[in-house]
DNA sequence: GCAAGTTAAATGGTATACCAAATGCCAAAC
DNA sequence: GTTTGGCATTTGGTATACCATTTAACTTGC
């Protein structure tokens, strides 16, 4: 029930608030902090061996990311993610994946297309060898290349955040049987559309890819709560 | 060049940081603060007659909204919005409008459909009478009803923020000749799709509506800068 | 014994104090 | 005159102190 954090290491030259933000965020996404749990500035600051100020700033950022909810005159509590929340997040990701892919189609360079082709092959290979962790990493890289090719900083950062929610918060071993064979096909459809610089087609196939991933994801995740 | 803010009124019981955030945000969106201008915590705090703390928190929020940029060891400066930025923002809005409309189609109640029908008529009427301000207000209300019907808090708040950027930051008298006749048609297409609870169709017409609005907007806004 | 009022603890919001890094200016040395 | 070293100022980051509000417990009166 109670939380406890080890004192923070001050070795790094980064800002304490960012470290605190990462600590709290990971604790929530890893479910070390349960939904409904109250976060008390002073307590966290004492445990980390720092003052309230950076803790405050970290908590403010968590509020803006909706990972915690500020209840006036009550403090902040860890938000719960309902099934409806997950569905909303997946839907947003789907929309923005389609968007970023259609933008990327207009800007992508041959070099990145080559890297995508190579990655798509490797993903399938590694999965065939049973290296699921590796294939997931490569999959992330695949999408990251597309994200970056679009040169759309806002869409990129939205998608990055959403991606972390989806993969970290829900610790689903993301591999529905047969899904990776579909992924191979869909990745090639995406590469093909990007290669032809066909925005509308890229949008269509990226949307379908994200929708299928979302479906597979929801099927794997058995949700209890509403 | 230099900025100056009047001392803040402490009458209201809301948090000072929120007031400061609103003041700075409006100043940026209204171009009272020019891009590249440096924001100094102490200076703003002194001018507003408060301490640095709430100013700090307000500035942090502005950083997260990308209205100001934090340059390490330099301070925060007001971000400029390039044409590419506007295009990105319009594209995100288009995607999310299509999404929220498709969600709304599955959830909308007869009462809201009635209100939409009535609003669509009023918008056209008021525009016909030359009450452009009024028709714009009603138009916002029209979209707000759809936003709320979708019961998707994250999409809603994204769209809300984007809407403020688009309308406030760019002070375009948003009325390309002939556009409102199209709007009348498009609004009715949206109402029709929502009424049939046809998600895919709602998505299609909402996307087209947002795309056309974006086009009209970009045509009206003559951008000088890259 | 129960209820109401008063007080003390908890907690978040704000103000202020302190510190470290960086920048710029001034003086001294060449 | 130029360059370099050092000091002062600026500025943001962090710590701490103070205040207001709320909650809860305890006491006191019925």
Is the residue at A1 inside a domain?
A: no
Residues B89 and B58 placed together within one structural domain of the fold: no
Asked if pLDDT for residue A211 goes beyond 80, the answer is: yes
Altogether, the residues listed in chain B come to a count of 226
Q: Which residues of B touch A99 (CB under 8 A)?
A: 91-92, 94-95
**Amino acid B27 CA to nucleotide C11 C1' distance, rounded Å:** 33
Closest listed residue to residue B10, CA positions, set B2, B20, B1 = B20
Is the residue at A136 inside a domain?
A: yes
Is the residue at A159 inside a domain?
A: yes
Closest listed residue to residue A126, CA positions, set A64, A180, A61 = A180
Q: CATH code at A207?
A: 1.20.120.530
pLDDT at B142: 96
- For A140, the domain range is 83-220
Round to whole Å and give the CA distance between B58 and B38: 15
Distance of CA A30 to CAs A3, A135, A167, Å?
13, 22, 10
- Are B152 and A98 inside 8 Å of each other by CB? no
Residues A56 and A88 placed together within one structural domain of the fold: no
Q: Which of B34, B51, B78 is the last residue of a domain?
A: B78
Q: What pLDDT digit, counting tens, does each position of B89-147 carry?
A: 999 999 999 999 999 999 999 999 999 999 999 999 998 888 888 888 899 999 999 99
Q: What pLDDT digit, counting tens, does each position of A150-169 carry?
A: 999 999 999 999 998 888 76
Residues A73 and A88 placed together within one structural domain of the fold: no
Instruction: Enumerate long-range contacts of A138-147, CB under 8 Å, 24 or more apart.
Output: A139/A183, A142/A116, A142/A187, A143/A97, A145/A112, A145/A115, A145/A116, A145/A119, A146/A100, A146/A101, A146/A104, A146/A108, A146/A116, A146/A190, A146/A194, A146/A206, A147/A100, A147/A104
Give yes or no for CB of B71 within 7 Å of strand C.
no
Is the residue at B41 inside a domain?
A: yes
Residues A116 and A213 placed together within one structural domain of the fold: yes
Q: CATH code at B68?
A: 1.10.10.10
Is the residue at A3 inside a domain?
A: no
Are B135 and B180 in contact, with CB atoms under 8 Å apart? yes
Residues A49 and A97 placed together within one structural domain of the fold: no
**Amino acid B176 CA to nucleotide D14 C1' distance, rounded Å:** 52
Round to whole Å and give the CA distance between B115 and B138: 11
Give yes or no for CB of B53 within 7 Å of strand C.
yes
Q: Which of B78, B97, B131 is the last residue of a domain?
A: B78
Residues A87 and A182 placed together within one structural domain of the fold: yes
Domain tally, chain B: 2
pLDDT at B9: 65
Tell me the nearest-neighbour CA distance from A18 into chain B, angstroms: 12
Residues B56 and B141 placed together within one structural domain of the fold: no
Residues A160 and A49 placed together within one structural domain of the fold: no
**Amino acid A73 CA to nucleotide D28 C1' distance, rounded Å:** 30
**Amino acid B42 CA to nucleotide C22 C1' distance, rounded Å:** 17
- Are A95 and B91 inside 8 Å of each other by CB? no
Q: Which of A206-210, B149-153, B172-176 has the lowest mean pLDDT?
A: B172-176
Residues B215 and B122 placed together within one structural domain of the fold: yes
Is the residue at B1 inside a domain?
A: no
pLDDT band at B225 (very low <50, low <70, confident <90, very high): very low
Among chain B residues, the shortest Cα distance to A63 is held by: B61
- Are A154 and B96 inside 8 Å of each other by CB? no
Residues B120 and B208 placed together within one structural domain of the fold: yes
pLDDT band at A225 (very low <50, low <70, confident <90, very high): very low
Is the residue at A53 inside a domain?
A: yes
Q: Which of B78, B110, B125 is the last residue of a domain?
A: B78
Tell me the nearest-neighbour CA distance from B95 into chain A, angstroms: 6
Nearest protein residue to nucleotide C15 (CA to C1' distance) is B51
Q: Which residues of A touch B158 (CB under 8 A)?
A: 92, 158
Residues A95 and A72 placed together within one structural domain of the fold: no
Round to whole Å and give the CA distance between B87 and A88: 25
Number of inter-chain CB pairs under 8 A, A vs B = 53
Q: Which residues of B touch A56 (CB under 8 A)?
A: 57
Residues A53 and A22 placed together within one structural domain of the fold: yes
pLDDT at A114: 97
């Amino acid at each position: 029930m109670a939380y406890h954090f080890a004192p923070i290491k001050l070795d790094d030259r980064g800002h304490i608030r960012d470290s605190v933000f990462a600590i709290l965020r990971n604790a929530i996404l890893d479910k070390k902090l349960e939904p409904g749990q109250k976060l008390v500035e002073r307590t966290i600051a004492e445990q980390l061996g720092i003052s309230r100020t950076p803790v405050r700033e970290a908590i403010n950022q968590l509020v803006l990311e909706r990972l915690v909810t500020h209840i006036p005159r009550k403090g902040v509590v860890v938000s719960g993610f309902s099934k409806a929340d997950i569905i909303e997040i997946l839907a947003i990701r789907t929309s923005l994946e389609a968007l970023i892919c259609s933008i990327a189609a207009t800007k992508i360079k041959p070099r990145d297309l080559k890297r995508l082709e190579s990655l798509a092959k490797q993903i399938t290979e590694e999965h065939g060898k049973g290296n699921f962790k590796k294939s997931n990493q490569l999959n992330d890289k695949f999408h990251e290349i597309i994200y970056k090719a679009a040169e759309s900083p806002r869409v990129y950062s939205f998608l990055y955040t959403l991606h972390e929610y989806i993969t970290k918060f829900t610790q689903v071993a993301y591999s529905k049987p047969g899904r990776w064979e579909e992924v191979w096909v869909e990745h090639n459809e995406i590469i093909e559309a990007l290669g032809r610089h066909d925005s509308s087609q890229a949008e269509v196939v990226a949307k379908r890819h994200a929708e299928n991933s979302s479906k597979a994801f929801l099927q794997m995740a058995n949700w209890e709560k509403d």
